Structure 1
Amino acid sequence: MRFAITKTVIPPSPPKAKSWDDWITQALHWVVLVPLLLAAAVPVAALMLVSMGAYLVYDFIKSLLQPQTNLSNVTQAPAPENVELLSSLSVRLQWQPFPLEEKATPEFVNWWNEIFSDLEQYDDLMEIGQLLTTPEIPGLYGQLIGYLCYKWKDSGVFLQLFEATNSPAGPAGTSWLVYLDLKTLQWQRMVETGACILDVTPDEPGMLLGWLADGTEVRLHLASLQPGAENPAPEEQ
């Protein structure tokens, strides 16, 4: 399958400069709020101390009355389960939790934390996992991936891979948008997406939406080409 990929980068909006009226209004708010906060702080602090004391007494009495727990009988927390990404007649794709801090290189861990620490609003996309494929697909099985799994019609699926660059000069990590053909189980790297988290856009088929740590929005417009056409380099706008 051949694709034309158009990349659109939308910089974050610059912060609006405050006028003198804004500064005066903000100062007046603080003049009114500070005395109110100080007046409310004393009874709130007293109530917290009383509540804390009552809880400590309750906890102490409870520990005396409760029988000792046998630590050997404590049930261990269940291991995180794999996430089913895709199941078809030809292949099964699963997202397996990956202990990044334990198994990745310190350089890659630092890159991940530094780049994505400011994207807290996308916490549901921020987990990194390991791709399991059945059958095992050479070069793809065991790769680090995000949650992106965008099925393209009935022919293939797009995934986002994360990997260490092992480059002492540049960033310690990067990411790629890759395409897996569900019929041949052949895969290819389509475009490097760097420090970007990609997600699907249900309202706009054929477009993937991503964000950089500084708030920059990245849009990837996907379009399939006719058989025999060359796969062009991604265009940027």
Structure 2
Amino acid sequence: MEEMKTNQGLPLIGDKAPSFHAVTTQGEINFPEDYAGKWVILFSHPADFTPVCTTEFMTFASMADEFKALNTELVGLSIDSLYAHIAWLRKIQELEWNGMKNVEVKFPLIEDIKMDVSRKYGMVQSQSSTQAVRAVFIIDTEGIVRTILFYPASTGRNFDEIKRVVLALQKADRDHIATPANWMPGDDVIVPTAGSCGTAKERMESTDEDQYCLDWFLCFKREKKS
């Protein structure tokens, strides 16, 4: 028997984020139209009242203001019902973990019982036909998918890394650079590779104190320390 098809397709980096209308714990939304001009982290989780997801929602909620300061909104998704969502988020407020307590989840959590949104974003994969995997889509101000992360059910997400990716994408867009391995805000950045022999020669012979090259194709710009 042919295996049941669970996905309608997975948007790729650089694609327009698939549009949808949804009911959430914060009212109805039209995505991504309602978030024009803002960055968005759209993330899914397998089910309400699951241990790993509970710690993740507590962490995301505790960092919501940090993301807002980066012009970034949070949108969650689960294949559970709206009423299950509400009950779970109310229970989260009663919990205390890792220094977090009285955590109120104010960002929208999508009801996706029919799996319409999950399938549009490739969130339902072979491990289950009734649960969304632990996915993260970082979408820019133009509604373009810029980063995709998938985690197995057993592994909680690293939210400092998710925030670092947002910072790196915004830095790259703003300054037209790239970020090296393990980049953190304030670290030196990579300038675009030389596009001609002349430019490569100029860079290698440059006396600019704000820039240095390991070789013609790998040049860095020093970040000014505040």
Is the structural similarity TM-score above 0.5? Answer: no
| TM-score in terms of structure 1 length | 0.28
Highest Rg: 1 or 2? Answer: 1
